[in-house]
Structure 1
């Protein structure tokens, strides 16, 4: 009788190996280059084009890797300056941090949908003239930043804060504040997707129009659609 284990049976105590996605590999390679070259916080990384050529991948893959690194606070991507090393101290565990972020995204999106959809509906019935002015100002800030080549991060944050304020619900606003750091992660991730900043401005205008018209149902639907769009990020795609 053959004493070897029956290969048709699953081995107990073993877990399937997780496959590393290409952008994860790129992120690890970038951080390995950072370590090898002794880069410190504030130092610039090589341009996207150079990284793509050196690694033999597309610029889109490099960009996704940089977005993932930005989300976990390792790099800061600045318009006109490129990627700047923000914190190299935790670079050895970068892959674990990226995957932990990816696991959080669905729960954060669910929370955003529940809270922000409700607040958009409330804003449509409770907004004041000052609230509408803040919403419009935020739209202008975001649109201008995007026109100048940015991603509209600050304008996006201002817009959602203005809608939250227009709902005039201190409890819901407090709940939003509790998950603000997690929302920032999803904001960076979403606005790092190609074409997403311009699409977000359009979605924001739909929400703003419904709030201005006092259309609670329309505002809720527009916000739900927007949050659903935000959830479509490369980090969660196979």
Structure 2
């Protein structure tokens, strides 16, 4: 006698396809690159662009908004969409490939320079109460992973911060006793607003 297989109500989930505006945004991004459009160049008017692409203006508008969120274009009402300069995040694959060919010591020196600039900016932050967040109850930082994010927040968004994000992947800071000693100097310099001392402390985080 053949046993019946137990019935189940489970069914395979539906295949998810990218929404039209997502596909459209990718298509327009590739068009910008293929045409070699520069920052400040304008895309064709929405009505013309929608007709050429064979889509509704509503779908095109959503695609342009998606590109604006990605920082690729700026939608100016009445003037259409303007191409923006690429960000470092856009160039990340190319930079990663380039850095893979560089001497690790060179990358470490580059990150030291970037970190020194960020530390200097953090020490210049006008709110001392925020700078005090760098120190533990005993007056010293615990580890790099706690201290450096605070320095980054104090320094604010900048090109240096973007560079630090990218360089951190190829030139990470070692959690050694030597680094812990340098972090004490860094944190205390930032707390008292000593920009030069803060920058100098970062210059010693890598033992090259």
- TM-score where L is the length of structure 1: 0.39
Q: Which has the greater radius of gyration? A: 2
